[in-house]
Structure 1
Amino acid sequence: MSRTPRDPEGRMPLREHLVEVRKRVVRIALGLLAGAILGWIVYDPLLDALVEPLARASEERGALIGLNFDGVATAIDIHFKVALFLGVIVSSPWWLYQVFAFVNPGLTRDERKYVFGFLAAAVPMFLGGVVMAWLVLPSVVLVLNSFVPEGNANLIGAQLYLGFVMRLVLACGIAFLVPVFMVVLNLMGVVSARTWLAGWRWAILVSFVFAAMVTPTLDVMTMFGLATPICVLYFAATGICFLHDRRTARRRVVPAE
């Protein structure tokens, strides 16, 4: 069976794109499954690490602070969620590659060279966001528990606490991918640096709204702690885009004979 012909630039027709979507989704699911199996195996030490900020806050506050498994199926439900949480993190190089392997056939030959550069930047940026969230988590938990009155216990619902932690960690990782997308779109000539700079007010607003949604508490420090690095990365990516646009403009200038 012959393949569907491509255009002169090497782009795929719609039918091949749909087939490619299915193939990449299946591969991403298999990667997440493999990572989740690892998460299932190491569940106990992983749960201990996730709960460690509560134990530290309990020790520093001298109060009873811990998890409350308040349902018959809560423990097994959390087991699955924690396993999948680790699966998303450890398989991030794989699913990021699949995303851009899907985009790659739709690009021209000149644009495809940026895919590998994106992947080389996207993986450490995602993991960097995960690490940053993990480092600030103990401080966040301690601050939030500092409002518990003396002599009182704070038994937090396991679903509520672990959902908050996993959402915070993964959201930071995804947020740190935004500057990489910005640079790639600029390198491909889709969005100019001036366009990114013109939207700086919206970028700051969206960053703080995103931080507020990820940390639905009254802790303003957490919101600022998450939104600030996102804003810094936005402006850093805009600066890189300006350098690229300037370099591109110079190349277009034909030297006088």
Structure 2
Amino acid sequence: MSTPARASRSRTRRRRRKDNPDGTMTLVEHLMELRHRVIVSLIALALGTIVGFIWYQHGFSLSVRGYELTVKSLGDILRGPYCSLPPDKRASFTADGECRLLATSPFEMLILRIKVGAVAGCIFSCPVWLYQLWAFITPGLHKKERRFTLIFVSIAVLLFLLGAVLSYVILSVGLEFLLSMGDQYQSAALTGETYFYYVIILLLVFGVSFELPLIIGALNIMGILPYSAVKNKRRIIIVCLAVLAAVVTPGQEPTSMIALTACLSLLTEISFQFCRINDKRRGEERPEWMDLDDEESSPLNESPSPISQPQAVARPGSISSPKSTGKNYGSSSGTDFSDVL
């Protein structure tokens, strides 16, 4: 496509958004907008994957105000929990006892490097594709709700990174527990594919699970999940979180399950307190009649006002009853009908 055509399409897109400040679009315009968001997200993912593929085997150094900062390669960082185990719990494949993982096929190392680079690229590019996702949704929201875009993306990235860091910290403890079962008879000789699969799945599980409080807060802001709907269900929610942690953690070892359950329970409680404060700020209180059974009648808070007796109103042109004017209308003589007619 030529440069003038691209410029014309860009001007058309800007003109359409300017003419439609409320975000109304046709189906074709929605599809074009979706295609634009997907292309930008894929480009960011591809660039992040390239960075992760190079970083997998090569570290780098940074100089910040005279201080030299050395960053290890991504492969050394990921295999750190395995290499931190005691030497008697892992097999050695080198003469000098260096910590190495095992490869059992010719293309395993290449495929593994591509997979790790893709996961790293997904993490690196998450601010971009999260923003693109939110920007695709926001045309249907109010102007006041669009201001939460930067806050939403920042909190989502921060929570994901916190979950990934926590999983990396407890990874060595979980590995030591798993590899110590029957270590009197065998030594662990993990392949790179098996080990990195366990590490990557654990990082993703913790990172995605830490987005739960953000989802709860977003539902409360949209008015879908009020605090009154969850305030008395904490025990059930904690049990559900424990079941979720037991299902999603790889290896089903107790250290990861307990850590994930405790963190999710804490983050969920923080999100519930946010819901309580937000509902109190908006003054949204649950009516008493919503807590009643289906067959129970709601109480009447106010007594009915007494109905006053209706008064007769004279119609125009009709003869009204004579008022008490002190005159005698009953006598036949000298009767004056001027007051009546």
For the criterion TM > 0.5, the same-fold answer is yes
Deviation sequence 1:129-179 (CA, Å, 0-9, x none): 111111111111112111142252211232221111001112211111121
Matched, 1:225 2:238: no
> Structure 1 unaligned runs (5+)?
251-257
Superposed counterparts of 1:133-148, under 5 Å: 133-148=167-182
Residue in 2 that maps onto 1:235 = 269
TM-score by length of 2: 0.66
RMSD of the alignment, in Å? 2.7
- State the distance in 2 between where 1:118 and 1:62 align: 44
- State the distance in 2 between where 1:175 and 1:110 align: 28
Kindly state the Cα deviation for residue 62 of structure 1 after the two structures are TM-superposed. Answer: 5.3
Deviation sequence 1:95-151 (CA, Å, 0-9, x none): 221121111112122322222221232121111111111111111111211114225
- State the distance in 2 between where 1:55 and 1:19 align: 49
- State the distance in 1 between where 2:192 and 2:34 align: 36
Superposed counterparts of 1:28-107, under 5 Å: 28-44=41-57, 45-59=73-87, 61=88, 63-64=90-91, 67-107=101-141
TM-score by length of 1: 0.86
Q: Which moved more, 1:142-151 or 1:80-89?
A: 142-151
Summarize the Cα distance change of 1:16–1:171 in structure 2 as closer, same or farther, 3 Å threshold. Answer: farther
Name which of 10, 30, 44 aligns with 1:17: 30
Matched, 1:208 2:242: yes
Kindly state the Cα deviation for residue 22 of structure 1 after the two structures are TM-superposed. Answer: 2.1
Q: How many residues align?
A: 250
Q: Give the % identical residues.
A: 30
Alpha-carbon contact 1:130-1:170 (below 8 Å) kept: yes
Residue in 1 that maps onto 2:224 = 190
Q: Aligned partner of 1:87: which letter?
A: G
Alpha-carbon contact 1:130-1:173 (below 8 Å) kept: yes
Q: SS in structure 1 opposite 2:148?
A: helix
Matched, 1:177 2:205: no
Identify the structure with the greater helix proportion: 1
Summarize the Cα distance change of 1:79–1:182 in structure 2 as closer, same or farther, 3 Å threshold. Answer: same
> Structure 2 unaligned runs (5+)?
1-11, 58-72, 93-99, 285-341
